[in-house]
Structure 1
Amino acid sequence: MLGVFKHIEDNRRELSKLHDLNAILVMAIIAVICGADTWGNIGEYCQAKEEWLTEFLNLENRILSHDAFNRIIAPMTVSI
């Protein structure tokens, strides 16, 4: 599944790449599928499911805050 995101360019500065972009996107998508509809809900969901998420994602730097999800993903979104 993670291969789907390999073509997405990660524009973050090298120093701020503590979390794998693929893992961030997968966590956010899973949270949204499970009903999260705000950055806060995404962060809360991922915090609550951290143990399960670590079974298949590289989360050596733990779960991001809701602000970090917003800061990383929001610039990638496209308005239609």
Structure 2
Amino acid sequence: MESPALSSVIDSLNQFNDPRDPKKIIHPLPTILFISICAIFCGANSWEDIVMWAEVHKKWLSKYVDVSNGTPSYSTIRRIFMIIKPACWGALTQKVLSSHHSNKKAEVHISIDGKTLRGSKCAAKDIRAMQIVSAWSTENNIILGEVKTDSKSNEVTAIPLLLALLDLEDATISIGCGSFLTTSNYPI
């Protein structure tokens, strides 16, 4: 029997626009996103971790999403996340967290930092490694949002875009910049 909480997550995933060619789809987009959400919330840190988690939980997953073609490969999951706008993914995860995290604490301190995603570079296709700027809730131990940096820019231009996605009222923002840390109250 499907839980109401998971039903609302799956309903949200079904609203995502699938940008892929319909003739080439083996795994439905809601399936890939649901697997990814569940695996990430269970501690997956890489594409391979997501696939491994899906393989271990395939029977449970089949109650909620279509895994009739097996679980997606790490490269399929990676490609999906390369074409989905990070702001859309961040909004979706925030929606899921907000509706299902009943004991979520108010944000007092939010840490902002940029990272290079391992495995996102492809020298053969002249694709630069993907840079992501993330906002971390120190009170709730979760990522509040992420923004991909523009290919010809850096973290500094992505930070205002990320801050615009967040509820910052009464929160202190700290930004990791190389070897130093800056802390300030962001003006609302």
Q: TM-score, normalised by structure 2?
A: 0.40
Larger Rg: 2
Per-residue CA deviations over 1:2-27 (Å, capped at 9, x if unaligned) read: 11123321110112211111111011
> Is 2:13 the partner of 1:5?
yes
**Aligned-partner Cα distance in 2 for 1:6–1:53:** 16
Q: Aligned Cα RMSD in Å?
A: 1.4
Structure with greater strand share of residues: 2
Amino acid at match of 2:56: A
How far does residue 54 in structure 1 lie from its aligned partner after superposition?
A: 0.8
One of 14, 17, 26 as aligned partner of 1:18: 26
Using CA pairs under 8 Å that are at least 6 residues apart, name the structure with larger relative contact order, 1 or 2: 1
1:75 equivalent to 2:83? Answer yes
The reply to whether residue 64 of structure 1 matches residue 72 of structure 2 is: yes
8 Å Cα contact 2:13/2:34 also seen in 1: no
d(CA) in 2 for partners of 1:29 and 1:63? 14
Distance 1:43 1:17 in 2: 18
- Separation (CA, whole Å) in 1 of partners of 2:59 and 2:82: 26
Bigger helix share: 1
- Give unmatched runs, 5+ long, in structure 1: none
Deviations 1:4-58 (A, max 9, x none): 1233211101122111111110110000000001111111111111111112211
Aligned AA for 2:63? E
| In structure 1, C-alpha distance between the alignment counterparts of 2:49 and 2:68, rounded to whole Å | 22
Cross-structure match for 1:41: 49
Q: Using the aligned pairs only, state the percent identity.
A: 24
Counterpart amino acid of 1:29?
A: I
Q: TM-score, normalised by structure 1?
A: 0.87
Detail structure 1 runs of 4+ shifted over 3 Å in the superposition: none
* Alignment-mate amino acid for residue 65 of structure 1: S
Q: 1:75, CA displacement in angstroms?
A: 1.7
Aligned residues: 80
Distance 1:4 1:14 in 2: 20
Distance (Å, rounded) in 2 between the aligned partners of 1:18 and 1:56: 17
Q: Partners of 2:70 and 2:12 in 1: how far apart? A: 23
8 Å CA contact retained: 1:44, 1:66? no
